[in-house]
Structure 1
Amino acid sequence: MRQANRLLTVATPGRGLVEITAEAAAFVRASGIANGLLTAFCRHTSASLLIQENADPDVRHDLDAFFTRLSPDGQPGWRHDNEGADDMSAHIRTALTQTSIGIPLVDGRLVLGTWQGLFLWEHRDRPYRREVVLHLIGE
């Protein structure tokens, strides 16, 4: 078994989904590993990872609108607001999604569906630089 690691830095424009499929695929190609498992891990508590449709941007818009209704900013009674009104709502959105995703690798390619992409989901209003750890294990 071989392993490879990479720290991917993602600049986000603020709240929303940023596709990182191409970066993950480039890492896989450079590794020389043909079959195995890619794990992506987001190192933050106010951003998450998602596999979602990458063809129609309306999907990303509607997902964000749904989570805005589900966990609106600045709710009365929330105690954690150290970094602003979007602070606690961002943590809740991360808790409802995921910070780690596994994607199989077959014949040197990520086994994603036709319309699937890997996204970092920024839950804060302002831009951030986020870190995603990519770990590949296989042969």
Structure 2
Amino acid sequence: MRQFVDIVRIPTPGRGLVEITPEVVDWLRPHGVRTGLLTLFCRHTSAGLLIQENASREVRFDLEAFFDRLAPEEAGRYRHADEGGDDMPAHLRTALTGLQLAIPVKDGRLALGTWQGIYLFEHRRTPRAREIAVHLIGE
């Protein structure tokens, strides 16, 4: 059994879903693991990870709109606003999306479904440099 751990840095343009499947595949490929488990962990409390459809931009648009309604930016609504009006809504959205994913590796490839992609969901308005811890175990 072999293990690999690293940090993948992902720039975001601001709020929204950023597909990171290509970056994850690029990281996985050179390790030569045929069968195993890849764990991804977002090292931030105002961005999350999810697996979602990657064929239609409308899915991402609808998800973003849903989260805007679910945790709106609204002056006076939240007590915590240390970093601005999008601070607490970003934390709420992260609590709902989660911070980690576990994806099986089969035949050297991620065992994602046909229309599935890995997304970093940036919940802050301004561009950020996000860090995703990756851990691969397998043979």
Q: Could you tell me which runs of 5 or more consecutive residues in structure 1 were left unpaired when the two chains were aligned.
A: none
Identity over aligned pairs, percent: 59
2:53 corresponds in structure 1 to 53
Structure 1 contact 20–120 (Cα < 8 Å) conserved: yes
1:124 corresponds in structure 2 to 124
2:92 corresponds in structure 1 to 92
Written as runs of structure 1 = structure 2, the 5 A alignment for 1:1-139 is 1-139=1-139
* Distance of 1:6 and 1:55 partners within structure 2: 28
Q: Could you tell me which runs of 5 or more consecutive residues in structure 2 were left unpaired when the two chains were aligned.
A: none
TM-superposed deviation, 1:32:
1.1
TM-superposed deviation, 1:58:
0.8
* Distance of 1:75 and 1:60 partners within structure 2: 26
* Distance of 1:101 and 1:113 partners within structure 2: 15
Deviations 1:54-100 (A, max 9, x none): 11111001000000001001352411101110000000000011100
**SS in structure 2 opposite 1:67?**
helix
Structure 1 contact 34–105 (Cα < 8 Å) conserved: yes
Structure 1 contact 6–27 (Cα < 8 Å) conserved: no
Q: CA RMSD in A?
A: 0.8
**SS in structure 2 opposite 1:95?**
helix
* TM-score, length of structure 1 as denominator length: 0.97
* Distance of 1:84 and 1:72 partners within structure 2: 13
**SS in structure 2 opposite 1:49?**
strand
* TM-score, length of structure 2 as denominator length: 0.97
* Distance of 2:108 and 2:16 partners within structure 1: 30
Number of residue pairs the alignment of both structures matches: 139
